[in-house]
Amino acid sequence: MSDFKQRALDYHSQPSPGKICINLTTPAETVEDLALAYSPGVAEPVREIAADPDNAYKYTAKGNTVAVISNGTAILGLGNLGPLASKPVMEGKALLFKRFANIDSFDIEVTHNTVDDFINTVANIADSFGGINLEDIKAPECFEIEQELKRRCNVPVFHDDQHGTAIVTAAGMLNALEIQGKQIHDCTIVCLGAGAAAIACMELLIKCGAQRERIYMLDRNGVIHTRRDDLNEYKQLFANNTDKRTLEDVIEGADVFVGVSGANLLSAEALKLMAPNPVVFACSNPDPEIKPELALKVRDDLIMATGRSDYPNQVNNVLCFPFIFRGALDVRATAINDEMKVAAVEAIRNLAKEPVPEEVLKASGVSSLTFGPQYIIPKPMDPRLLKNVARAVSIAAVESGVAKLDLPAV
Ligand SMILES: NC(=O)C1=CN([C@@H]2O[C@H](COP(=O)(O)OP(=O)(O)OC[C@H]3O[C@@H](n4cnc5c(N)ncnc54)[C@H](OP(=O)(O)O)[C@@H]3O)[C@@H](O)[C@H]2O)C=CC1
Ligand SMILES: CC(=O)C(=O)O
Ligand SMILES: [Mg+2]
């Protein structure tokens, strides 16, 4: 067994199995404590909440708790390995929520037969939480699931693999193109993958100025084009009127490659065909579409990002979901809307241009980080993400009319 594999397994099994636990916030030592915490005292908040459901925010942990919910159908880039196998990732998301935004999470792995079963399960428990973070649910079901849950739930519902990924990709892409001296409007973009992350990333890049006709999306059957008859309604939006059929066909002269598909699917030969000064986001986890060492060996004019923590430029939704939920919970937003997403893109993007504090350099194991090809996007452990992104999101929620509370004082 490799050393890294053993260390990863040890990390998850020691000092106790898993990565999270529940702690108490109130004393529970004496008879009086228990009389307050449980019977008879607990009846008082019960009555208050029955009289007004908003009192759940006052007397329970609801307002600072997010449910991380998966069915395990698209676990990272590992595929459909079932609900239970997704649990380490969902506990990982809970770890990140707590570590970066002090949000408590429950991970919930749902076994279901139909899409309706899944939707009903989540809708029926949603009121227990301040928000719902859907995770690693494959396309195309994820689109219907999110849409229906948004309609049925009173709390924000956010599919992280769609919108968290899209927000971070857009922030990193705008910065990378700025460094490469390119305008997104003029770029030819190749997107390998046509699932949850791909569709959302491309839609957000279009909102940021990319031209739909200059995007070539590919799935397992190659380029998505207008003469295919096997496309779902989401892929159809990206059907290109083209004779190009393969990755090699579309990548020739392309400015941008976004990989949200699977491991090692972009060859060095294909990369060589890209236009000068390309941007390659190989975001598949745990293994990118092309390894940075290989990519940088064949192109020295490249800006390269992956989804991983162990290379420069980590384009990963960890830079978004803790902070967008912090911003939403702080003003009790009823939804996470486009205004809040755009605010998050701008806040993440701008932070990469600020001088980096010593503590971030230390945690990153480097002596300097300056806006440029090796640093297009902030590091997840940058404490300013919490302040800047959450605040920007809260302001956008208030201004767009979905906040139930005023902005908290700074
Ligand atoms: N860095 C980050 O923050 C994030 C990275 N990701 C990564 O993106 C990838 C996809 O995740 P997600 O969108 O949630 O999953 P989905 O299951 O929704 O989509 C996967 C897509 O990848 C395509 N695909 C898989 N294998 C190939 C292949 N050999 N050639 C071409 N296309 C292929 C599938 O094609 P088809 O439609 O034909 O089945 C499908 O369109 C994963 O690797 C995941 O780790 C996801 C979210 C965040
Ligand atoms: C990062 C993430 O959410 C994924 O790879 O699915
Ligand atoms: Mg995911």
Q: Active site includes 207?
A: no
Q: What is the pLDDT of residue 410?
A: 84
Question: Is the Cβ–Cβ distance between 278 and 255 less than 8 Å?
Answer: yes
Which residue of the set 5, 19, 87, 93 is catalytic? 93
pLDDT, tens digit (0-9, with 9 covering 90-100), for 147-161: 999 999 999 999 999
Q: Which residue in 396, 339, 395, 321 sits closest to 94, CA to CA?
A: 321
Alpha-carbon dihedral angle through residues 199, 200, 201, 203, given to the nearest 10 degrees: 80
Output the CATH code of domain 163-306.
3.40.50.720
pLDDT band with cut points at 50, 70 and 90 for residue 404? very high
pLDDT, tens digit (0-9, with 9 covering 90-100), for 187-236: 999 999 999 999 999 999 999 999 999 999 999 999 999 999 999 999 99
pLDDT, tens digit (0-9, with 9 covering 90-100), for 314-327: 999 999 999 999 99
Q: What is the pLDDT of residue 1?
A: 76
CA distances 366 to 171, 281, 312, 353, 377, Å, are 22, 22, 10, 17, 15
* Alpha carbons 298 and 362: distance in angstroms, whole number: 30
CA 205 to chain centre: 15
ipTM, 2 dp: 0.99
Is 285 annotated as contributing to ligand binding?
yes
> What's the chain's Rg over C-alpha atoms?
22
- Main-chain phi, psi angles of 160, to 5 degrees: -55, -45
Q: What is the pLDDT of residue 357?
A: 96
Output the CA 275–ligand 3 centroid distance in Å.
30
Average of pLDDT values for 372-399? Answer: 98
Q: Which residue in 187, 312, 207, 339 sits closest to 257, CA to CA?
A: 187
Q: Active site includes 87?
A: no
Q: What is the pLDDT of residue 272?
A: 98
Residues in the chain: 410
Question: Is the Cβ–Cβ distance between 105 and 135 less than 8 Å?
Answer: no
Average of pLDDT values for 54-74? Answer: 98
Q: Ligand 1: which of 260, 266, 306, 313 to mutate, most ligand atoms within 8 Å of CB?
A: 260
- On the question of pLDDT at 60 being above 90, the answer is yes
Domain boundaries, the chain: 17-155, 163-306, 317-399
* Alpha carbons 146 and 161: distance in angstroms, whole number: 11
Q: Which atom of ligand 2 is nearest to the CA of 284?
A: 5
- Main-chain phi, psi angles of 281, to 5 degrees: -105, 100
Output the CA 168–ligand 3 centroid distance in Å.
13
Token pair recorded at residue 327: 């911003």
- Give 163's DSSP letter: I
Average of pLDDT values for 163-189? Answer: 98
- What letter represents residue 271's amino acid? L
CA distances 335 to 147, 149, 155, 400, Å, are 12, 11, 7, 10
Query: 17-155: what CATH class?
Result: alpha beta
Is 316 annotated as contributing to ligand binding?
yes
Output the CA 173–ligand 2 centroid distance in Å.
18
pLDDT band with cut points at 50, 70 and 90 for residue 266? very high
Question: Is the Cβ–Cβ distance between 401 and 392 less than 8 Å?
Answer: no
**Domains 17-155 and 163-306 belong to one CATH topology:** yes
pLDDT band with cut points at 50, 70 and 90 for residue 399? very high
- On the question of pLDDT at 276 being above 80, the answer is yes
Q: Mean of the per-residue pLDDT values for the chain?
A: 98
